[in-house]
Amino acid sequence: MSKTILGLSGSLRRGSFNAALLRAAADLASEGTTVQIGAIDEVPLYNADEEEANGLPAAVETLQAQLQAADGLLLVTPEYNNGIPGVFKNAIDWMSRGPGLKMFVGKPVAVIGASPSGFGTLLAQTQWLPVLRTLKTRPWFEGRMTVSRAGGLIDENHKLTDDDTREQLSKFMAGFSKVL
């Protein structure tokens, strides 16, 4: 039986380490598992007045449809100032609006991330936990992946080239796929 994971990178940067990590996760997904890469770059800042006047933006409806169709969710989070990037949290906030909240309930979720620092994205990953609890997701805690010093692991073509990191990511994706 085929499984689908919606993968979201929380960075808008063209040369994003986290977008590269997400693409590598898609490439290394277990046989029978597909990672559909979603996009948050067109999600506007959340404004309840705007939502009331115009409903959900098209980019949010697309993400909600992708989430609804997915068996699991992979959040690939940067860490900015020791926390969750605002643009990423904003996209999840929008996705939970309207019919979106029920799409998160019981959904298996894994969180990974890459950073140029020596600490990876440990703090940002931890800060996702109250959000995932509020959304009533099913966070996967059996694996942890923080990619430190990502600048030396990703080439000029924005590809994860480090063999050890690719092997770790492959194992992580195989483990997450088993809970879907």
What pLDDT digit, counting tens, does each position of 137-166 carry?
999 998 889 999 999 999 999 999 999 999
Can you tell me the distance from the alpha carbon of 32 to that of 146, in angstroms, rounded to the nearest whole number? Answer: 25
Tens digit of pLDDT per residue, the chain (180 long)? Answer: 899 999 999 999 999 999 999 999 999 999 999 999 999 999 999 999 999 999 999 999 999 999 999 999 999 999 999 999 999 999 999 999 999 999 999 999 999 999 999 888 999 999 999 999 999 999 999 888 999 999 999 999 999 999 999 999 999 999 999 999
Can you tell me the distance from the alpha carbon of 10 to that of 19, in angstroms, rounded to the nearest whole number? Answer: 8
pTM of the model: 0.97
Domains of the chain, start order: 3-178 (3.40.50.360)
Contact assessment for residue 7 and residue 25, using Cβ atoms and an 8 Å cutoff:
yes
The pair phi, psi for residue 60, each rounded to 5°, is -70, -40
